[in-house]
Amino acid sequence: MMTLRHMPPAAGLAALAVLLASALLGTSSCSYDNEQELFAGELSSCDSVSVTYRGTIQPLLAQHCLRCHGPTRTEGGVVVTAHHDVQTLGRTGQLLGVIQHKPGYPAMPDDEPRLSDCDINKVKIWVRAGMPDN
Ligand code: HEC
């Protein structure tokens, strides 16, 4: 659900993703000052620049998901153990659906609060980057 409380960070995340995308494509570095202004808020401490599967996504899933979707438990028939498991969930939209608490998806983690905006943003960036095994 989009509540007012969530709107500004969501807008910031979208803008950040766009800027990251253009940075990755090697476009101008002149926008640097703008980025500084745009993200001087709560996201400034969120390192979403160096997102990798092994360095970012896997540890995040290990901390918040693996206990129910790993070697010992496979709730809902879902596992997030291997890269290709997570990639499949990313392709179907389930991964972003559940962690963003989108309508139509069971909210995950099941028994914990929603992940931080920073963590959700990292997963979004990784999915948009094509879910590399890096
Ligand atoms: C405490 C246990 C628990 C934790 C922690 C947990 N899940 Fe789940 N998960 C479940 C259960 C139970 C279901 C089945 C719920 C349902 O279908 O309503 C489920 C279902 C799912 C599904 C299937 C959704 C669908 O569309 O049917 C996905 C994807 C998923 N979890 C991802 C995650 C991710 C990603 C995390 C970590 C951010 C996570 N889960 C953390 C218990 C957990």
Ligand 1 nearest-atom number relative to CA 95: 29
**Whole-structure pTM over 0.85, yes or no?**
no
Amino acid identity at 115: L
pLDDT for 46 equals: 83
pLDDT for 7 equals: 54
Find, among 77, 84, 115, 86, the residue nearest to 99 by Cα. 115
pLDDT for 60 equals: 98
Q: Is 69 exposed, middle or buried (0-12, 13-18, 19+ CB in 10 A)?
A: buried
Ligand 1 nearest-atom number relative to CA 67: 5
Ligand 1 centroid–CA 109 distance in Å is 6
Distance CA(24)–CA(33), nearest Å, equals: 17
pLDDT for 6 equals: 54
Mark the ranges of the chain whose per-residue pLDDT is less than 50.
Answer: 20, 23, 25-41
Residues 6+ apart with CB under 8 A from 96: 90, 102, 123, 124, 127
pLDDT for 34 equals: 46
pLDDT for 11 equals: 58
pLDDT for 122 equals: 97
